[in-house]
Amino acid sequence: MTVQSFGFFLGFLVFQSFGQHGRELITSELALRLLSSLSEEKSIPNVDLSSLNNILEKIVLKVVPMENLNGRKRVEAGDLCERRNGRGVDLNRNWSVDWGKKEKDYDPHEENPGTAPFSEPETQIMRKLSKSFDPHIWVTVHSGMEALFMPYDHKNTTPDGLATHVMKSMLNDVNRLHCKDRCLVGSGGGSVGYLAHGTATDYMYDVMKVPMAFTFEIYGDKEASMKDCFRMFNPVDRTTFNRVVNDWSAAFFTIFKMGPHWMDLVHFNSSKLESIDEYLEGYLIERSSRYGKRMEVLDLGMQEIRTYFRLFLLSSVLLMFMFCSRISKSKYATIRPIVSAVSL
Ligand SMILES: [Zn+2]
């Protein structure tokens, strides 16, 4: 892992969310398969898990296996076309980037953005998690088609710069290795045929400054009737089910393995490196909130650290001063002999 002189590198941080839309049940199944592979309960065909520990040492994962619990409950109760949350809001239209803009074919049963950005508890929780975790990669996993999307969803372009180039090449790698080049690759807004406003991925990229923010679409049945939502979004036979969860678990392992390398290419490391002060502050916040004494512990801890740091600086300056004064005196000793030693 890259370590620079002004801070610690704390690992490669991966934030994944599944089940944002109720009817896309397969996405949460993928989350569970991925987690069981990570805990070595299940193997993944064609994936060598012997290097798993090595990979896990370098990354930190945060996984939300089912973002939209109440929407999922509605689907399980028989409303198989429901994608929104329990309050009828589309959680992938409730974020603040370009929020509330409606396309000509706007359908409130599909894309209701809510009464305001972050009006929904699920979105608020996700925003909170992303702020505290500050990931390097964000992936929200959906179904309905096979695609690998990067920003933007709300306009028909991709962002400028090197990061875009790296994101695209990363998605091309994943497409070639794990989607047999079937997946659409590009900006969500430019590839899918419609613009989406107030999405999670655009927020992660634009506001949270996550260097690599993606929407993966892992499965879709184009032959399915528009009325058969279960079939449109989920495999209905065991072979396809296993193929989907295995292929995409393998895709995530590639990302875990290659992620740090892609990050180096983006040259963003400095923005994600933390100074010692920031690191300790974050650590103390975490520790103290665990014990419910956030401010006390934080204040006490930071005071001590700052005091030690000041003492250290002061003694360094004094030592330096002593050292320099000795040199300058010995240099001119022949013409200006030392009369008395300086005691400090
Ligand atoms: Zn979806």
- Among candidates 101, 134, 155, which has minimal Cα distance to 213? 134
d(CA 284, CA 177): 42
d(CA 67, CA 21): 8
Mean pLDDT of 74-80: 97
Mean pLDDT of 141-164: 94
Instruction: State which residues have CB under 5 angstroms from ligand 1, the bound ion.
Output: 21, 142
Q: Which fold has domain 12-272?
A: Aminopeptidase (3.40.630)
User: How much of the chain is in helix, strand and coil states, percent to nearest 5?
Assistant: 50, 10, 40
Across 69-73, 148-152, 326-330, least confident range: 326-330
163 CA to middle of ligand 1, Å? 25
Q: What is the pLDDT of residue 210?
A: 95
Tell me if residue 304 is catalytic: no
**Whether 139 contacts 200, CB under 8 Å:** no
First CA to last CA distance, the chain: 43
Q: Where residue 223 falls among pLDDT bands split at 50, 70, 90?
A: very high
Longest dimension (CA), the chain: 101
Q: What is the pLDDT of residue 302?
A: 52
44-65 per-residue burial string, b: 16 or more CB within 10 A, e: under 16: beebeeeebeebeeebebebbb
107 CA to middle of ligand 1, Å? 15
Instruction: Collect all residues with Cβ–Cβ distance below 8 Å to 228 and sequence separation of at least 6.
Output: none
pLDDT > 90: percent of the chain: 59
Q: What is the pLDDT of residue 229?
A: 95
- pTM for the full predicted model: 0.76
11 CA to middle of ligand 1, Å? 29
d(CA 17, CA 200): 10
Q: What is the pLDDT of residue 149?
A: 97
Report helix, strand or coil for 44.
coil
23 CA to middle of ligand 1, Å? 8
In the chain, which residue ranges form alpha helices assigned H by DSSP? 25-38, 52-56, 69-76, 108-111, 121-133, 162-178, 188-191, 200-206, 229-233, 238-266, 269-272, 276-290, 294-331
Q: Where residue 300 falls among pLDDT bands split at 50, 70, 90?
A: very low
258 CA to middle of ligand 1, Å? 26
195 CA to middle of ligand 1, Å? 14
- Residue ranges, comma separated, of all CATH 3.40.630.10 domains in the chain are 12-272
CA distances from 236 to 45, 185, 244 (A): 21, 25, 11
pLDDT > 70: percent of the chain: 76
110 CA to middle of ligand 1, Å? 10
259 CA to middle of ligand 1, Å? 24
User: Taking 80 as the threshold, does the pLDDT of residue 96 lie above it?
Assistant: yes
Q: What is the pLDDT of residues 224-266, one digit of tens each?
A: 998 899 999 999 999 999 999 999 999 999 999 988 888 888 7
Q: What is the pLDDT of residues 105-137, one digit of tens each?
A: 899 999 999 999 999 999 999 999 999 999 999
303 CA to middle of ligand 1, Å? 47
Give me the catalytic one of 57, 217, 223, 304.
Answer: 217
7 CA to middle of ligand 1, Å? 38
d(CA 268, CA 163): 9
**Mean pLDDT for the chain?**
83
